[in-house]
Amino acid sequence: MSVLGPLRATLAGRPVDIGPMRQQAVLAALALSPSRSVSRGRLLEDVWGREMPDGNVVPVYVYRLRKILRLGDRPDSVIRRDRYGYGLVQGVAEVDARCVDDLVARAGAAERAGDLPGAVRLCERALELFRGEPLAGLPGPVAALLMHALRQDGRRAEALAVFDRIARRLADDLGVDPGDLLLRARRTALPSTVISAA
């Protein structure tokens, strides 16, 4: 699964149609939290923000995604459910952002071991995974997810630039300030020294 550009999923090397944009945003939220469960309430907040729908839209979208992402003829899917919410099955679903984290860690180890050519090759492989602006084109407060993805990748300045761009657009187009979700995403993107000083 690729989040380092427009969202893209493949099964057995073939592209998969993930469905409507909000459904794609649900999958993106799960992909950005690959090692933990995401609650239904958190998915509603991350994908719809203040425009939260009534009803069971999250379980419906997850059901559809589980069907789409079913592994061949097997009844299981890459999406699991537990008492805390939904998540990607570890070891089955591969997310490019996690691959970048792994490659960067391996490059650091290679550099510390004195293997500079190896470190450069690993960094080049990591850079090849980027296909444009992460999560480009997804609707709603998913831009808070973009900020989260950039922050997770150590790109705090870019995460803060996304906030600035959204804040300007909200002010210019709608005459409103950023909501709680975006402000919270901005706070998590700030270095801890800035937060403690604020």
Residue 194 has a pLDDT of 44
**Token pair for residue 171?**
């002010």
160 and 198 Cβ atoms separated by less than 8 Å: no
* Successive 10-residue mean pLDDT values, the chain, 198 residues: 86 88 89 85 82 84 90 72 90 83 90 93 88 71 66 77 75 68 74 49
Whether the full predicted model's pTM is greater than 0.85, yes or no, is no
What is the C-alpha to C-alpha distance for residues 65 and 155, in angstroms, rounded to an integer?
29
Looking at residue 158, what is its pLDDT?
79
The pLDDT, as a whole number, for residue 46 is 79
Distance CA 7, CA 21 (A): 10
Q: Which residues contact 89 (CB under 8 A, 6 or more apart)?
A: 76, 77, 78, 79, 80
Domains recognised in the chain with CATH numbers: 9-88 (1.10.10.10)
In this prediction, residue 180 carries a pLDDT of 67
Say how far residue 181 (Cα) sits from the centre of its chain. 15
